[in-house]
Structure 1
Amino acid sequence: MPLNAAGWSNRGWLEIIEFILLMCENGARKTHVMYRCNLNSKQINQYLEFLLDSGMLEMIQERPSSKRYIYKTTDLGKKFIAHYKQLASLFTKAPPPSLT
């Protein structure tokens, strides 16, 4: 199982947010993001709602007459990605704490 930024195997919500934002940098449909992030529909809806409300994602109609939407990372979302990567790099340099 791949390790997260802190060296443990479970993903945290910040990692999931970062992955969603990375997936949506060039625009992505909800189902594509849901499958790539390995989330169920309830979970992806909660994350997308949070990211839309916080201004890190925007919803763009695919075509004027279409009911399909694409989610795209905003400039604020791109800032989050950059800051998250910077913070995560601090944890990858230090060994995980001993639990013994």
Structure 2
Amino acid sequence: MAYEFTASRVSGDGNAVFPDKLIITDEFVIYRKSRVIGYKETKIRLSSVGSVSVRQHLLFADIIIESKGGNVIVARGFSRGEAREIADLLEE
């Protein structure tokens, strides 16, 4: 089963036009940042996720996902509830 989370457009951090997306599947965590032409995508296997942390701000929260190999995904602008749900899904 796949879960898809899209950051709020009003959160700032460049999300107004191209919001951050996190897709969690049975095998991967996929971070996708769209651009004018194409997108940047980073995949980390769930078995390689080393740590997940949530940085909470006044209204929104950031998700920091670190892999055992040293890759880091920082997805910005999610609601606090979504951030907790993402962290819970990745810590299972």
TM-score (norm 2): 0.28
Q: Looking at CA atoms only, which structure, 1 or 2, has the larger radius of gyration?
A: 1
Query: Greater RCO between the two (CA within 8 Å, min separation 6)?
Result: 1
